[in-house]
Amino acid sequence: MLKIEDLHVSVNGRKIINGVNFTAEDGKVYVILGKNGGGKTSLLMSIMGIPKYKIESGKILFNGTDITNLGVYERAKMGIAMAFQRPPVVNGVKLIDVVRNPMFSDVVGVPDSFFERDLNSGLSGGETKRSELLQVLSMRPKLALLDEPDSGVDIDSIKYILNAINELRKMNATVMVVTHNIGVVKSIGPDEIVVIGDGRIIRRGGVDILNNINFNGDGQ
């Protein structure tokens, strides 16, 4: 599904990913842990192809195709979707323009009233995250990148986030979730936990490694 080879990435001339090697299998759920600034979000942004994340060297392969130099739109067409940590408000574009089939709206708790609003306009943090997850589910992605979907949300929204991940499992999508919440990690029940620090993967393992990770995510 996804193979990353010796990836080095910079933003505005500052190195943020320092030689990441990573392989993700079809239908598996991976939780990404680590300290703030360690490279978790940067890794997801680089996989998605966000332009300011400049790949200095290395490769990103998706289903055997080198996507290192492809744009966001091309990656999305191939089946990569991302829910952002801080989704922007998009004036003039309504949710119904983006999600034409609301079949997953109940799964993530998105009411009908949201569909006639400008994208993410006037929504709380939890409502915005649920709207993002609806957009991801509607794409039926092969690879879903979820950047801190649980940050700044209430308990009810956590339930909907877990619902979304379970739906992605049913689709046999590969899922990568960045979080800082150990309770959420345990609820997800990931196939693998990946700890990132200083732009490198410093540890990988099953949920049992949580016993040896302090919550700053240093993996020591």
pLDDT at res. 191: 95
Burial 155-165 (b: 16+ CB within 10 A, else e): eebbebbbbbb
pLDDT at res. 143: 98
pLDDT at res. 45: 96
Domain ranges of the chain: 26-38+79-212
pLDDT at res. 117: 87
Instruction: Give the DSSP letter of residue 109.
Output: T
Instruction: Give the DSSP letter of residue 123.
Output: -
- On whether the CB atoms of residues 147 and 84 are closer than 8 A, the answer is yes
Of the candidates 159, 147, 142, the one whose C-alpha atom is nearest the C-alpha of residue 106 is 159
Of the candidates 38, 3, 26, 7, the one whose C-alpha atom is nearest the C-alpha of residue 195 is 38
3-state secondary structure (DSSP) of residue 200: strand
pLDDT at res. 214: 58
Residue 47's identity, in one-letter code, is: I
Instruction: Give the DSSP letter of residue 140.
Output: -
Q: Which residues are registered as beta bridge partners of 193? A: 31, 205
Cβ-proximal residues to 38 (8 Å cutoff; 6+ apart), any chain? 196, 197, 198, 199, 217
Could you list the pLDDT tens digit for every one of the 220 residues in the chain?
899 999 999 999 899 999 999 999 999 999 999 988 889 999 999 999 999 999 999 999 999 999 999 999 999 999 999 999 888 888 889 999 888 778 899 999 998 888 888 888 888 888 888 899 999 999 999 999 999 998 878 887 889 999 999 999 999 999 999 998 888 999 999 999 999 999 999 999 998 888 776 544 444 3
Please count the CA atoms within 13 angstroms of the CA of 219 that sit on its side-chain side.
Answer: 18
pLDDT at res. 218: 43
Sign of the C-alpha dihedral computed for residues 95, 96, 100 and 105 taken in this order = positive
Q: What is the CA radius of gyration of the chain?
A: 17
Residue 16 Ramachandran class (φ > 0 left, ψ -120 to 50 alpha, else beta): alpha
Superfamily of domain 26-38+79-212: P-loop containing nucleotide triphosphate hydrolases (3.40.50.300)
Q: How big is the CA angle at 156 (ends 151 and 157), to the nearest 5 degrees? A: 40
Q: How many CB atoms neighbour CB 196 within 10 A? A: 26
Instruction: Give the DSSP letter of residue 212.
Output: G
